[in-house]
Amino acid sequence: MPSTDCPKRAILYARVSTDEQARSGYSLAQQIEALREHADREGYEITEEIEDRGYSGATLARPGLDRVRDLVAAGTASIVLAQDRDRFAREPAHGWILREELEKYGCKLLALNDRGDDSPEGMLTDGILDQLAKYERAKVAERTRRGLLQKAREGKVIKGPKANYGFKFNYTGDGLLVHEPEMKIVEKIFRMAASGMGPKAMQTRLYAEGIPSPTGKAMWPHRILKVQMVLNDLYKPHTYDEMAPLLSGEVAGK
């Protein structure tokens, strides 16, 4: 049933994806602070502050958003506030689904960057802006993909927070150098794998020999041994014929 006894009660919703957590100036705390200021300015009583940490806006299946929907269905708020429209959903269609669902309970979605209003013209304006934002995200993703591919063709690596075990970054950060002390351990692990030992047996052997894992813990995690090392293409030898089609002529010639 639509909410009739809480016309000025608001739920604050903030979301940040795993990738966005690394960016400065776009934190959950910053979003919540901006929403609090808006709620105070507009005279809203805040019912609850809800966060989704590390969840993509590409799906509506998020624990925080589920909580929002349950609270709205219980009639506890007349408005749900987010800093930006894409905090609710990255896909325009998902945004419309969520909006229609909440409207059944007399609750509105409001983002601080909404440009339109509840009129057909206002909804059209926001719909166009959503599509433009989606297009821009797709364009950025394509530019990023092509940039990464070009780096690979130039024989450069994509620098992460830490080089793979057994390697270290060169001074420019776009190439790998063998780190001898660790690479000796890598060789030991591959010899054990070649002899038929499984991850558990390797864990036991490395622990018994007092060789700490890359995480600093005494026991090597199963995933590091199997996925990040034994099955990782980085450690496998490749022939010239395998690599030449993936590289520029200059790099392949080296």
Structural domain boundaries of the chain?
9-114, 167-253
User: Which tokens sit at 69?
Assistant: 């929907």
Write down the residue that tokens 């293409």 correspond to.
233
Over the stretch 126-176, which tens digit does the pLDDT of each residue have? 666 766 666 666 666 666 666 666 766 776 777 777 888 999 998 888 888
- Check if the beta carbon of residue 80 is closer than 8 Å to that of residue 39: no
Q: Supply the pLDDT for residue 1.
A: 45
The rounded distance, in Å, linking the Cα atoms of 218 and 160 is 24
64 pLDDT more than 90: yes
3-state class (DSSP) for residue 46:
strand
| CATH of range 9-114; options 3.40.50.300, 3.40.50.10490, 3.40.50.720, 3.40.50.1390 | 3.40.50.1390
For residue 102, give every residue at least 6 positions away whose Cβ sits within 8 Å of its Cβ, in sequence order, or none: 69, 72, 80, 108, 109
The rounded distance, in Å, linking the Cα atoms of 100 and 70 is 15
Span 215-233, mean pLDDT? 86
Over the stretch 192-216, which tens digit does the pLDDT of each residue have? 999 999 889 999 999 999 999 988 8
